[in-house]
Amino acid sequence: MNKYIAESFGTFWLVLGGCGSAVLAAGIPDVGIGYLGVSLAFGLTVLTMAFAIGHISGCHLNPAVSIGLMLGGRFDKKDLVPYIIAQLVGAIVAGGVLYIIASGNKEFSLSGGFASNGYGEYSPNGYSMLAGFVCEVVMTMMFLIIILGATDERAPAGLAPIAIGLGLALIHLVSIPVTNTSVNPARSTGVALFAGGWAIKQLWLFWVAPIIGAVLGALAYRVMGANKS
């Protein structure tokens, strides 16, 4: 059970730290952290948890990552469903904690989206469903390649958390304007359940696209990393 508990706590931190930065700190006039700050926050959640729990659970924090690691031969399929359940529990609890904190401000409203992911009229900058889908697939694919490469036994030892955290920050810098960046179905679910309405209706894309991207990333790395000479 230790690894499942670790995955819940890790995903809790990712959603609270990443989405919390977007909900609580990004939009403050003059001193808000903006896209750059939110991108850095997501990267830091993964980096810190990779050092904290990587040796316990592998620090997936993401159903798409777990699927990709399984296909990449780095994760036992018998643990896939328990990991995904643990990740969803952590994400939803984090969404609840964030809601309690955010609602302590009398000006708070869920109409702002509560850091939910969206496309079309709910994209931060009005990107279409197709643009959002392609963006999420490609970004998740690249994230899996980074993860598999950084954790390869041939990679420099001990530096994987830094590469993975910076990779996630870069992904957010590119894709926040398009979909508010998911690349993680648990992260999307954890806040969409509280935002309700359109966020739940559009949630399908932020499960399907990241999973497709993870599969593609795992397959691509298996091809690239096949020669171990």
pLDDT in tens, 132-175: 999 999 999 999 999 999 999 999 888 999 999 999 999 999 99
The reported pTM is: 0.95
**DSSP secondary structure letter of residue 203:** T
Q: Is the pLDDT of residue 214 over 70?
A: yes
pLDDT in tens, 69-102: 999 999 999 999 999 999 999 999 999 999 999 9
Token pair recorded at residue 74:
């780095």
- In the chain, which residue ranges form alpha helices assigned H by DSSP? 2-20, 34-57, 63-71, 80-102, 129-150, 160-179, 185-195, 198-201, 205-224
